[in-house]
């Protein structure tokens, strides 16, 4: 619904703390990673506030990070399905033109049979990524300009800009999302994207030839094809001056797309909190992104994800010292280490504010949150709840 008629001016500050891939499953009798972690500060917030489980998209649907974050910011992720390539481009300050097709790339490792054995090429360092991108800049395609930029570790950006006809961006990923399978052929989902699929096929053929002698990064996978959309900003939608503290390009890109100020900070938590402290007095909505929970989950590293959660918990008092009027802690999706991938499982969420109706939940974890006062809700409603707890919404109707 259009919230503008209900918005109330306020000095109340809202803090969203997003632990990427926070949710998990119990696979070894110790509970989930969140339940196995020592989290006294998050537990205290849960006791003071209200908890529940959030579905980023819908029950049974496994979300990408883009849809997961859009939902957290109150945007319907099905209505606004934005390609990861666009978000990556915005995150590294690449200006897209209308009609450009952007895709997120991974360097990967293929075996002698052409099967993917590592979707991230051992998480090569950014310097190696930069060298390999420079090699791929030799690629030439008819009637289209090819732009390539290194991002971080194994990730890079591909942008196609047509010299003639408009390009469609409705392409399936070439990433098979698992090992033991070959890269997929780019498949167009509509007629206007057929030419784009042919261009991407040629790009991949040349990339395979150029990288043939490299180890471990001897091929690339592409995903998240998309074109620049137009979305209402947080200011337009919710009357909020937003600020993002995120070190990874995609999350910076989402924030920039929604009109947030994106602070300069590294991917480490200390750097993000220092930037949060510096920005605090200038904004009324602040979003802090913590990546390590997702990375360890995708690596299948239960203990590593537990340690990441404990690191975040240890930092919570530094955030509370800033005295947010509302603090929301959750994730954009679940990444159980037992599955080493994103999953469809709902994500634990807590809201802490003076206006909360405490629900009796004593600890912050999936099992406890399943009985919390928020129930099981679509993640897109968290923004409305945060606004309400901040006193930023007036009554609806007579």
| Predicted confidence (pLDDT) at residue 84 exceeds the cutoff of 90 | no
Neighbours of 384 (CB within 10 A): 16
**pLDDT tens for residues 87-137?**
889 888 898 988 999 999 999 999 999 999 999 999 999 999 999 999 999
pLDDT at 26: 95
One CATH from 3.90.550, 2.30.29, 3.30.360, 3.30.70 for 88-226: 3.30.70
pLDDT score of 351 more than 90: yes
Query: Rounded mean pLDDT of 316-324?
Result: 98
In whole angstroms, how far apart are CA 157 and each of 48, 90, 102, 154, 372? 43, 10, 7, 11, 41
At 68 the pLDDT is 95
Q: Where are the domains of the chain?
A: 4-82+230-389, 88-226
Place of tokens 């959660």: 309
**Rounded distance between C-alpha atoms, residue 212 and residue 136, angstroms:** 12
Give the architecture-level CATH label for domain 4-82+230-389: 3-Layer(aba) Sandwich (3.40)
Q: What would the mean pLDDT of 17-40 be, rounded to a whole number?
A: 96
Confidence check: pLDDT of 63 > 90: yes
Tell me the average pLDDT across 125-153: 96
Averaged pLDDT of the chain: 95
Q: How confident is the model at residue 216 (pLDDT cuts 50, 70, 90)?
A: very high
Q: Identify the pLDDT of residue 318.
A: 98
pLDDT of residue 363: 98
Examine the pLDDT at 211 and tell me if it is beyond 90.
yes
Whether the per-residue pLDDT at 16 is higher than 90: the answer is yes
Backbone φ and ψ for 272, nearest 5 degrees, come out as: -65, -40
Q: In the prediction, which pLDDT does 159 show?
A: 97
pLDDT score for 115: 97
Average pLDDT of the residues in 150-179: 93
Q: What is the pTM of this model?
A: 0.82
Predicted pLDDT of residue 230: 84
pLDDT of the residue at 229: 87
Does position 398 have pLDDT exceeding 90, yes or no?
no
CA 116 vs CA 112, 201, 340: distances in Å = 10, 17, 16
Q: pLDDT over 70 for what percent of the chain?
A: 100
Mean pLDDT, range 189-198, rounded to an integer: 94
């Amino acid at each position: 619904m259009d919230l503008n008629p209900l918005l109330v001016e306020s000095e109340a500050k809202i803090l969203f703390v997003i632990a990427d891939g926070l949710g998990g499953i119990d696979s070894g009798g110790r509970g989930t990673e969140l339940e196995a972690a020592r989290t006294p500060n998050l537990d205290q917030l849960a006791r003071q506030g209200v908890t529940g489980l959030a579905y980023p998209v819908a029950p049974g649907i496994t979300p990408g990070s883009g849809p997961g974050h859009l939902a957290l910011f109150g945007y319907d992720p099905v209505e606004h399905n934005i390609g990861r390539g666009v978000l990556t481009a915005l995150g590294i300050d690449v200006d897209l033109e209308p009609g450009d097709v952007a895709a997120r790339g991974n360097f990967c490792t293929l075996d002698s049979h052409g099967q993917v054995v590592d979707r991230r090429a051992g998480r090569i360092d950014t310097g190696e990524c930069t060298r390999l991108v420079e090699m791929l800049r030799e690629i030439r395609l008819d009637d289209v300009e090819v732009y390539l930029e290194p991002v971080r570790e194994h990730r890079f950006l591909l942008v196609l800009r047509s010299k003639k006809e408009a390009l469609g961006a409705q392409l399936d990923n070439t990433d098979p999302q698992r090992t033991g399978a070959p890269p997929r052929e780019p498949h167009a989902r509509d007629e206007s994207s057929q030419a784009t699929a042919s261009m991407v096929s040629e790009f991949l053929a040349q990339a395979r030839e150029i990288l043939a002698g490299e180890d471990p990064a001897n091929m690339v996978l592409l995903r998240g094809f998309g074109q620049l959309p137009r979305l209402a900003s947080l200011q337009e939608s919710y009357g909020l001056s937003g600020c993002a503290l995120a070190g990874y390009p995609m999350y910076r890109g989402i924030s920039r797309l929604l009109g947030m100020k994106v602070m300069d900070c590294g991917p480490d938590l200390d750097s993000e909190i220092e930037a949060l402290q510096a920005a605090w007095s200038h904004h009324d909505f602040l979003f802090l992104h913590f990546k390590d929970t997702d990375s360890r989950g995708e690596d299948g590293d239960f203990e590593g994800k537990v340690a990441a959660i404990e690191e975040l918990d240890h930092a919570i008092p530094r955030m509370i010292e800033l005295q947010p009027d509302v603090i929301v802690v959750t994730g954009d999706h679940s990444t159980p280490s037992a599955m080493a991938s994103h999953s469809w499982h709902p994500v634990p969420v807590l809201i802490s504010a003076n206006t909360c109706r405490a629900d009796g939940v004593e600890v912050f974890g999936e099992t406890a949150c399943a009985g919390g006062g928020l129930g099981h809700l679509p993640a897109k409603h968290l923004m409305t709840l945060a606004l309400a707890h901040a006193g930023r919404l007036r009554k609806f109707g007579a």
